[in-house]
Amino acid sequence: MSEEDVAALLADNSRPLGQRTLWRLLYESDVRIGELLALDVPDVRLVERVLAVAESKGGPCEVEISEAAANDLALIIAGRSAGPVFALPDGTRLSRERAHAAFRKATGKSLHALRYSSRLRHMAAPTA
């Protein structure tokens, strides 16, 4: 996906904030989908703009997030001190299958396409 495609997708306010935030984090941070879906509210440190990722390749790590992602996360977790960050209305954790299905419905592509289009890869691409 191009940077323009991703920017348009993330700016589409007709999509639920939780979906757009998950997609933003996947695109900006290069964290795997399973690691993002496993986040609990205490793993998000909004003031520091850091996620404590428990199961990254090589062990636990801290991942810096953008101001936009932190602002979105603040809205998603407002008033909660526990539980999954990406939760369904009944409070259960969003599954990988539902996350993939929502992205495919929105774009016709796999979430892996978004991850492998990540901002980090765009920044590293050689310029002509």
Place of tokens 């539980």: 83
Per the CB < 8 A criterion, the answer to whether 56 and 35 are in contact is yes
Q: What is the pLDDT of residues 71-126, one digit of tens each?
A: 999 999 999 999 999 999 999 999 999 999 999 999 999 988 887 776 544 454 44
Architecture of the domain whose range is 3-123: Orthogonal Bundle (1.10)
DSSP state of 42: G
pTM: 0.86
Q: What is the pLDDT of residues 28-55, one digit of tens each?
A: 887 889 999 999 999 999 999 999 998 7
